[in-house]
Amino acid sequence: MSGVQEALIQVENLHRVFVTDEVETHALAGIHLSIARGEYVAISGPSGCGKSTLMAILGLLDTPSEGDYWLDGRPVASLTPSERARIRNRRVGFIFQSFNLIGDLTVHQNVELPLLYRRVPSAQRRQWVQEALDRVGMSHRAKHYPAQLSGGQQQRVAAARAVVGRPAILLADEPTGNLDSNSGRAVMDMLAELHREGTTICMVTHDPRYAGYAQRTIHLFDGRIVDDDMAVQKPQDSLGGTVERRA
């Protein structure tokens, strides 16, 4: 179809219905979305509007009930389970609000884990883990365990784990939700740097200050896209970062 080859992510008429005790919940209801390679997109909207469900589908963690999804020109429905897992491990990075760190692994080991699955050589693993921890200011905590860290520190470790494999696509679900302003700015600055390096970023956020870092903000309501704003300029915000003003 027209436009599919040009987009890194393309979805058409995407629906996701959850059925529990014979009750249907329509989390997504006819999403049409195109994200170009190298674009930085924020997704906003009230709780329960389908943001996290959309992210899960884009990250191949869930499948739509109806509709089509092309990733880099390839229909996702044609992928085998092993191919989906390979793409998640090699091409997609995730930052979850709930951290999802493994409690009996150190910070270094948590960040290293995706590289072990990829069988990256040990010397390269050490280098990449060090670089990822440096990005989020957590190198000094490399030998600590998640229980020894604050919530904000755990989120920064989760961010390091997401970027350690240098993914082409980064999906961030409320990456600053548990952070103070300084830590939040550090994570946002890291995302901005990754974007400058060519990473495609799709971020869910409730905070308009952080949505302003993106080139474009998509607004969801009741499982539908109700607005799609393109940024036009970047003044300084109160955190010292940049905020997009939109037409």
Q: What is the pLDDT of residues 32-47, one digit of tens each?
A: 999 999 999 999 998 8
Average pLDDT over residues 215-232: 88
At 3 the pLDDT is 42
Average pLDDT over residues 151-156: 86
Two structure tokens written together for 239: 């955190």
Residue 5 has pLDDT above 60, yes or no: no
Residue 151 has pLDDT above 90, yes or no: no
Residue 239 has pLDDT above 80, yes or no: no
10 Å Cβ neighbour count for 214? 26
Residues 6+ apart with CB under 8 A from 196: none
Is 176:239 a contact under the CB 8 Å cutoff?
no
Q: Which residue matches tokens 């952070």?
A: 179
Average pLDDT over residues 57-76: 94
Note the residue count of the chain: 247
| pLDDT level of residue 152 (50, 70, 90 thresholds) | confident
Residue 206 has pLDDT above 60, yes or no: yes
Q: Which residue has the higher pLDDT, 203 or 187?
A: 203
Average pLDDT over residues 26-35: 94
Average pLDDT over residues 235-243: 42
Is 15:33 a contact under the CB 8 Å cutoff?
no
This prediction has a pTM of 0.83
At 34 the pLDDT is 94
At 231 the pLDDT is 60
Percent of the chain with pLDDT over 90: 62
Lowest model confidence (mean pLDDT) among 134-138, 141-145, 169-173: 134-138
How confident is the prediction for the chain on average, in pLDDT? Answer: 87
Q: Which of 232, 224, 214, 101 is nearest to 156 (CA)?
A: 101
At 140 the pLDDT is 95
Average pLDDT over residues 192-216: 91
Residue 1 has pLDDT above 80, yes or no: no
What is the CATH topology of the domain spanning 38-60+80-246? Rossmann fold (3.40.50)
